Amino acid sequence: MKAPICLFLYNRPKHTEITLNNLALAKDAINSDLYIFCDGPKKEATPQELENILAVRQLAEKCKGFNSITITTAEHNQGLGNSIINGVNHVINKFGKCIVLEDDHLVHPDFIQYMNHYLNEYESEKKVMHISAFSRNSYLQFVMPRVFVSRYMDCWGWGTWTDRWSMLDLNLDNVDQYLSNEDNLNRFNFSKLDYHTYFDQNRVKFKTWAIFWYYTIAKNNGLCLMPKYSFIKNIGNDGSGTNEVVKASELASNFNNNFKPFRPKLKETLLSEFYIQDAYAKRSKKRFNRPKKWLHDILSGIRNKIIGSTI
């Protein structure tokens, strides 16, 4: 059985139209069940925002190209964090696994195949808690295995199973207790990435779910599968969404290799640690950034000439 796909939409009709059309063209889309969750308007929504929310819902209703399409619309605004948690709970508890996308995720033609292969491959391997389809650019990509594991979790195009997702811990007291241990804090931050600061956004009001899912995985010594080259492009980092704007050059992660099954060793390596540190560091804090980017661009250009572009 193909894993159902959860797609979360809100108020960006242009992004939504591109995302829906692109997803429908992916291999195995016609054999997949699509669950669309449309968030509702905020109390202070402007007439333009209300118009955009309506336009998104109309696009969802016109959507075609899947085995089935189920649309859920919220009367009031839940926020991205609550919307994703509630939507994933609804689907994953019914089917045992799911694939998750947002309104600005452009998928590789092999994305659905990639996700289903590893969701089936590691369904009984409880240590694997998350399948990621996205990887940021790094000069280290060229020496990584085709797929590798890390405790780090990326939330742009991902999948998991009911028994893992049910472990999600949103309790800040538990987080604080876990991170009060210096070894846990260093591992959580990969020694140099300040991921623990993201919890501060949730002290007054729940805003982001992803950092809690990463914490849950890290706390339980779980692993995430990550591809050497991404099966996702993010088209929404233009200031129109909830999250921060990121340079496009950081996100268009070599989108031109086809999926080939590969079974990685289920053990984090020093190389994967270095990759996360390099790829996910804030660029303003990185040393020797220009030489690394120069090396990455040269290697990317050579590979692109050999392989060609998929889309």
pLDDT tens readout for residues 201-220: 888 888 889 999 999 999 99
Q: Name which residue leads in pLDDT, 257 or 183.
A: 183
pLDDT tens string 67-103: 999 999 999 999 999 999 999 999 999 999 999 999 9
- pLDDT of amino acid 146: 92
pLDDT tens string 40-55: 999 999 999 999 999 9
Neighbours of 168 (CB within 10 A): 16
- pLDDT of amino acid 286: 47
**Considering just the CA atoms, what is the radius of gyration of the chain in Å?**
19
* Helices of type H across 150-288: 162-165, 172-179, 182-188, 210-219, 270-279
- pLDDT of amino acid 285: 46
Mean of pLDDT values over 167-183 = 96
Rounded CA separation 311/309 (Å): 6
pTM for the full predicted model: 0.87
Pairing, β 223-227 against β 128-132: parallel
- When pLDDT is cut at 50, 70 and 90, the band that residue 303 belongs to is low
Q: Record the tokens describing residue 182, joined without a space.
A: 């210096």
Rounded CA separation 90/95 (Å): 9
Coil, helix or strand for 260? Answer: coil
Find where tokens 């060609």 sit.
Answer: 308
The answer to whether the beta carbons of residues 6 and 35 sit under 8 Å apart is yes
- pLDDT of amino acid 225: 97
- pLDDT of amino acid 310: 41
Distances from the Cα of 300 to the Cα of 109, 110, 155, 212, 282, angstroms: 20, 20, 24, 34, 21
pLDDT tens string 53-67: 999 999 999 999 999
Mean pLDDT of the chain: 88
DSSP secondary-structure letter at 204? S
CATH domain 5-307 topology: Spore Coat Polysaccharide Biosynthesis Protein SpsA; Chain A (3.90.550)
pLDDT tens string 130-143: 999 999 888 888 89
Domain positions in the chain are 5-307
Q: Is 249 left (phi over 0), alpha (psi -120 to 50) or beta?
A: alpha
pLDDT at 281 over 90: no
Q: Record the tokens describing residue 61, joined without a space.
A: 């209703």
pLDDT at 229 over 80: yes
Find where tokens 């919307």 sit.
Answer: 83
